[in-house]
Amino acid sequence: MSYEHIYFLGIGGIGMSAIARYFLHEGKQVAGYDRTPSPLTAALEVEGAQVHYEDDPSLISAAFRDPATTLVVYTPAIPAEHAEWAWFREHGFQIEKRSEMLGHISEGKYVMAVAGTHGKTTTTTLTAWLNHEAGCGTGCEETDGCGQGTSGCGSAFLGGISKNFDSNLVLGRGKRLAVEADEFDRSFLRLHPDAAVITSADADHLDIYGTHEAVKEAFAQFVRQIRPGGALVIKQGVDVTIDNPAIRVYRYAYDTPCDFYARNVTLIGGGHYRFDIVCPDRVIADCTLGVPGWVNIENAVAAVALVWVAGFDEERLRGALASFSGVRRRFDFYINRPELVYMDDYAHHPRELAAAITSVKRMFPGRQLTAVFQPHLYTRTRDFYPEFAQALSHADRVILLPIYPARELPIEGVTSELIVDRITVPCELIPKEKLVDELLACKDLDVLVTFGAGDIDRYCQPIADALNQRLLEK
């Protein structure tokens, strides 16, 4: 790329920060704006990026004010009236969406893309870890498919922070590139993968698509963009039109027999399982996964299918599954003691919320689950409030927080009370600032999970600290 300076509008986003890190690694000068400081922006500043937190064109440093040397990358979450974005447009800068930039970076790579309205972050991150630990075959640095499964294979752009890599960016040997293919704003249509997974195609982002049928058509287009000779791995039962005759198609499931599935699933304690993974040409027996929950077995089946298409070393893959540490904010344990469990999860769509709650109940049978949920977006709440209430009613007690607006303005009549009014178990709505005190007042907490894609994660450590202190005082 000829540009030496890259400026990011929304540099603190999980996808944007990974691309910013990539360009820092490439030796480019990186700067950007974000609305609020965060651990991600702090890490970027340590790594050499210039970041500021006021929407003010005068804060753009001199090095990034020349359209001949500076490329601007923006996230669709940036509002149209954003002053810095307007300044760059008015002064003739080359401006690209994050998805366009990811498409450019993926050129010349063996792209392993994971799409779906939920489940894609964990599946992509596990794919990256399996590539790193057990990758061998297509896209491997050794062009003859060395058969050794040498560690360090493959790169990745992730939609969460991998605990194994402690990053949302992985830079490894060879041409394999695992990417999270995000359907928001049709971003995933900038990719032309060699192999792809579709985990789900539920109704979501209806503020963008309008209808569920439009969502499914976007996924159908994504399938059409898989390169000739490539492969699609799609969850059994997902309703997406597949009309790309130049690719192979495989189905996967949790434990329903098909091309890839788990069998002999046995709970071995603490929410962990032992299981076999059935593939078209073999059975990978006696697998364990380093993260708990039956839903993660399903994600593991999808990731194994994706690396099976490309090639892997079986013995090293079994070890990689066991050593997978997961993703921050995905079944993320803060406390795991016999008398109290506290975990945090990113679930923010009714289907993934229902799956997460069901998984937690299976992990800790017979125990009482308190679910704290922060709805994300007014439009998503408006479109799915009955489904949210139904999913949350599988918990034993629910605490609702006000809607996190993100990029949106309020919608009249759309509040968290729409959900509260339809929940069939004990439930209350409280301000998020009172959450820690409310939880401390609960003397019978047993299993606690916080859910949501907003800023609820900023309360996780204070909650854990307060609950641990209470345990010490008993």
Q: Does one domain contain both 351 and 404? A: yes
Residue with tokens 């790169």: 155
Contact 359, 294 (CB under 8 A): yes
Among 268, 303, 323, identify where a domain stops: 323
Contact 130, 310 (CB under 8 A): no
- The CATH number that applies at residue 36 is 3.40.50.720
- The CATH number that applies at residue 149 is 3.40.1190.10
Q: Does one domain contain both 387 and 415? A: yes
Gap between the Cα atoms of 317 and 284, Å rounded:
9
Q: What is the pLDDT of residue 261?
A: 98
Among 65, 98, 131, identify where a domain stops: 98
Gap between the Cα atoms of 460 and 169, Å rounded:
24
Amino acid of residue 286: D
Q: Does one domain contain both 262 and 350? A: no
β-sheet bridge partners, residue 373: 400, 451
Contact 426, 399 (CB under 8 A): no
Q: Does one domain contain both 129 and 240? A: yes
Gap between the Cα atoms of 408 and 206, Å rounded:
13
Instruction: Give the total residue count for the chain.
Output: 474
Gap between the Cα atoms of 339 and 252, Å rounded:
37
For CA atoms 425, 450, 168, 55, the dihedral sign is positive
Among 73, 98, 123, identify where a domain stops: 98
**b/e sequence 109-125, b meaning 16+ C-beta within 10 Å:** bbbbbbbbbbbbbbbbb
Q: Does one domain contain both 373 and 469? A: yes
Q: Does one domain contain both 402 and 466? A: yes
Does residue 94 have a pLDDT over 80?
yes
3-state helix, strand, coil in the chain (%, to 5): 35, 25, 40
- Predicted confidence (pLDDT) per residue in 366-388, tens digit: 999 999 999 999 999 999 999 99
Q: What is the pLDDT of residue 147?
A: 41
Does residue 54 have a pLDDT over 80?
yes
Gap between the Cα atoms of 181 and 103, Å rounded:
10
Task: Among 31-45, 207-221, 247-261, name the most confident range.
Answer: 247-261
- The CATH number that applies at residue 448 is 3.90.190.20
- Predicted confidence (pLDDT) per residue in 98-110, tens digit: 988 998 999 999 9
Q: Does one domain contain both 313 and 370? A: no
Q: Does one domain contain both 153 and 290? A: yes
Contact 261, 250 (CB under 8 A): no
Q: Which of 16-25, 178-187, 258-267, 394-403 is predicted least confidently?
A: 178-187
Strands 231-235 and 195-198: parallel
Q: Does one domain contain both 423 and 352? A: yes
Q: Does one domain contain both 393 and 304? A: no
- Mean model confidence pLDDT for the chain: 91
Give the domain range for residue 68.
5-98
Gap between the Cα atoms of 447 and 442, Å rounded:
12
Average the pLDDT over 351-356 and give the result. 89
Contact 230, 195 (CB under 8 A): yes
Could you give the residue ranges of the DSSP H alpha helices within 225-331? 294-310, 314-323
For CA atoms 346, 350, 352, 354, the dihedral sign is positive
Q: What is the pLDDT of residue 422?
A: 96
Q: Does one domain contain both 199 and 293? A: yes
Helix H or strand E encompassing 101 = helix 98-105
The model carries a pTM of 0.79
Picking from 437, 432, 468, the residue whose alpha carbon sits closest to that of residue 450 is 432
Q: What is the pLDDT of residue 68?
A: 96
Q: Does one domain contain both 460 and 346? A: yes
- Predicted confidence (pLDDT) per residue in 195-234, tens digit: 999 998 876 766 677 898 888 999 999 999 999 999 999 9
* Band (271; pLDDT cuts 50, 70, 90): confident
Which residue has better confidence, 29 or 36? Answer: 29
- Total domains present in the chain: 3
Gap between the Cα atoms of 119 and 181, Å rounded:
11
Structure tokens at 242: 């597949």
